[in-house]
Amino acid sequence: MLSLKKYLTEGLLQFTILLSLIGVRVDVDTYLTSQLPPLREIILGPSSAYTQTQFHNLRNTLDGYGIHPKSIDLDNYFTARRLLSQVRALDRFQVPTTEVNAWLVHRDPEGSVSGSQPSSGLTLESSSGLQDVTGPDNGVRESETEQGFSEDLEDLGAVAPPVSGDLTKEDIDLIDILWRQDIDLGAGREIFDYSHRQKEQDVDKDLQDGAEREDTWSGEGAEALARNLLVDGETGESFPAQVPGGEDQTALSLEECLRLLEATCPFGENAEAMEVNTSTSEILYSAPPGDPLSTNYSLAPNTPINQNVSLHQASLGGCSQDFSLFSPEVESLPAASSSALLPLVPSNSTSLNSTFGSTNLAGLFFPPQLNGTANDTAGPELPDPLGGLLDEAMLDEISLMDLAIEEGFNPVQASQLEEEFDSDSGLSLDSSHSPSSLSSSEGSSSSSSSSSSSSASSSSSASSSASSSFSEEGAVGYSSDSETLDLEEAEGAVGYQPEYSKLCRMSYQDPSPLSCLPYLEHVGHNHTYNMAPSALDAADLPPPGALKKGGKEKQADFLDKQMSRDEHRARAMKIPFTNDKIINLPVEEFNELLSKYQLSEAQLSLIRDIRRRGKNKMAAQNCRKRKLDTILNLERDVEDLQRDKARLLREKVEFLRSLRQMKQKVQSLYQEVFGRLRDENGRPYSPSQYALQYAGDGSVLLIPRTLADQQARRQERKPKDRRKKKIQDSSKACYTSDK
């Protein structure tokens, strides 16, 4: 027979393993250190939650009725545990609001730039003041990020220790993955940093205030554009976006661009929510606060990502006389461009770097097809403008299939999930936790943990009427009074006065409805240990008068069969008080009771054995019930975690969908911008020969496609190498830890 110990121990271990397999980190340390006892109990042995319960004291104070001495602790524990699980789930997948703003503006020859300014969300534009906020200090940024992450958690109602101290490597890796995805999409790591965003919003306010004082600027967002200080999303560096005056390069009809964008993009009325200095500069595109881009790109109002996609300061082409597009400082900068390299943005600007991370626009912005006159079908096949960005992110790292495999969801489920989301069917993965399943779970819980419910019923029924409990079992003719009388009559025991109603107190959780009636307990065991032969003989002897077949005798026989062995022994040894008293009286009262009677050594020995066995019996019942409760609660936790996981997976699918939308929008924007670029002769650039490239230093360059292709390939290689190295490191760590 499989021992109960082995069964339960392995069962708990299996649950733990199951939790790990489904991707839930069983943070034993948390439980070992958080005053949450059960797992510690399981692993290290009993302590607080499973500490001894003074049942006799409970009985003394509360009479022991309906008391589940462990339930309170267990409930608290599992509630806390669920919260911790949810917190952990949140810190792994909850992505803070992401707003990616980008502007396309145009700078007039005097350096005046008009534009509008997004007011909230991820502020990619910056000012000199923003440099102080973000700073180049990555260490500070990291801490801010994590702090902000923690705040996000707290905003969600979760209480968690400081993230920096609690995040495991897995968590950090997940954050990094999400961060890289957002970086690849143009969102800086600061999107995870609520405080950082707050600061930037404050800066925005300052900028707006400054803009009101600046007559140079026509629009409120112009101030930010004027300063053109950009935040590198990856490094956190802030620097001004500048365009060396490439006077001989691209000419862009910005009025046309503006009109075009107003027509093609749903920003028309916002483009009107800004002032355009048409005389000197034109705003190619502007995305004011709360602008339509958010409308376009954001999902449902409660969607965690609010994607404002715009191209801050990605102004292209001033006029034929002035290629510099952005800041006033441009004029002071030398025209560094050549015929091959057409810098559109000064080298110290990282506006787009902030928006798109370090992604090379050569890979980012190559449209598969460029409309307009620039089409060159004879040219090389144009890559997907966002191929390096979203394909990498979506297909390589966060594809649903990967997600399904990595996180234990089968691919079919994942694809169904995606379909479900795409169809907006509203189907919920929570079906696994439907009310029916819940009820069934609860039902199984209550049924399998019958000890608790039955104990309650037994206690209540016994306290009110023992006969009612008895009749429920089909027996008739019993009442405690009559039973007492019958027993006295039949047994003739000296001083034997069973108080069965009191016996009901023996166990607060006796699993048997008959437990309050020990003599009805079905005990067929033949434990003859610790029994003197004489006592055994006496116990086995039929009681006097048992041969008579009267009704009372039949009842007596029946009751006699229902009595426990210890009761038989006590009766045989003529113990003058009930086993209930023997077992449940506090030791002082128990000793006092013993002192009232003249008992033989054999009687005293039996009484002590009865007391010991009776207490141990209850303890064993409690122990088994606790094990069962623990298993059931673990089962419920697994269900909860699976439900959370399904929700998170659904959210992830939503993110992926929004990423696709962003990809499409950025792609079309690239096409529009590129299509409007004109060389000094007023001719469009060929997309097969030129491409916009976003250099690592923040510049936006119009470069030959061959060069752009090379750089794009180089960019693609880097993340893969990094991942490969990471895997090697982790495997090395595993190997080390195994050793």
Neighbour count for residue 112 (Cβ, 10 Å) = 21
Query: Is the backbone of residue 669 left (phi > 0), alpha (psi -120 to 50) or beta?
Result: alpha
Helix (H, G, I), strand (E, B) or coil at 343: strand
CB of 628 to DNA, least distance (A): 8
Residue type, 519: Y
CB of 619 to DNA, least distance (A): 4
Q: What angle do CA 167, 359, 303 make, to 5 degrees?
A: 55
CB of 200 to DNA, least distance (A): 53
CB of 586 to DNA, least distance (A): 6
CB of 562 to DNA, least distance (A): 11
Identify which of residues 525 and 596 has a Cβ nearer to DNA in the complex: 525
CB of 67 to DNA, least distance (A): 12
Identify which of residues 522 and 714 has a Cβ nearer to DNA in the complex: 522
Could you tell me the two tokens for 423? 């169809």
Q: What share of the chain is helix, strand, coil (3-state, %, to 5)?
A: 60, 5, 40
Neighbour count for residue 79 (Cβ, 10 Å) = 10
Integer Cα distance of 685 and 678 in angstroms:
6
Integer Cα distance of 731 and 739 in angstroms:
12
CB of 169 to DNA, least distance (A): 32
**At what angle are helices 601-676 and 565-572 packed, to 10 degrees?**
160
CB of 471 to DNA, least distance (A): 20
Helix (H) or strand (E) holding 716: helix 705-738
Q: Which of 444, 469, 472, 448 is nearest to 459 (CA)?
A: 469
Query: Is the backbone of residue 663 left (phi > 0), alpha (psi -120 to 50) or beta?
Result: alpha
Q: What is the contact surface with DNA in residues (CB under 7 A)?
A: 1-6, 8-9, 41, 45-47, 50-56, 69-70, 448, 451, 511-512, 515, 521-527, 529-530, 564-566, 586-587, 590-591, 609, 611-624, 626-627
Identify which of residues 44 and 395 has a Cβ nearer to DNA in the complex: 44
**At what angle are helices 71-93 and 138-155 packed, to 10 degrees?**
130
CB of 4 to DNA, least distance (A): 5
Identify which of residues 294 and 512 has a Cβ nearer to DNA in the complex: 512
Could you tell me the two tokens for 319? 């006029």
CB of 462 to DNA, least distance (A): 15
Integer Cα distance of 560 and 472 in angstroms:
19
Measured between its terminal Cα atoms, the distance across the chain in Å is 36
Integer Cα distance of 538 and 573 in angstroms:
8
4-12 own/partner pairs: CB under 8 Å, 24+ apart? 4/624, 8/627, 8/631, 11/631, 12/42, 12/630, 12/631, 12/634
CB of 400 to DNA, least distance (A): 39
Identify which of residues 611 and 645 has a Cβ nearer to DNA in the complex: 611
CB of 394 to DNA, least distance (A): 47
Q: Which of 539, 581, 529, 577 is nearest to 560 (CA)?
A: 539
Contact 386, 184 (CB under 8 A): no
CA distances from 462 to 57, 507, 631, 691 (A): 20, 12, 29, 87
Q: Which of 713, 722, 697 is nearest to 235 (CA)?
A: 697
Identify which of residues 333 and 604 has a Cβ nearer to DNA in the complex: 604
Identify which of residues 12 and 24 has a Cβ nearer to DNA in the complex: 12
CA distances from 495 to 484, 535, 571, 668 (A): 11, 18, 10, 99
Helix (H, G, I), strand (E, B) or coil at 14: helix
Identify which of residues 360 and 451 has a Cβ nearer to DNA in the complex: 451
Identify which of residues 28 and 523 has a Cβ nearer to DNA in the complex: 523
Identify which of residues 70 and 141 has a Cβ nearer to DNA in the complex: 70
Identify which of residues 527 and 732 has a Cβ nearer to DNA in the complex: 527
| DSSP-derived secondary structure letter, 521 | S
Identify which of residues 63 and 262 has a Cβ nearer to DNA in the complex: 63
CB of 525 to DNA, least distance (A): 5
Identify which of residues 616 and 664 has a Cβ nearer to DNA in the complex: 616
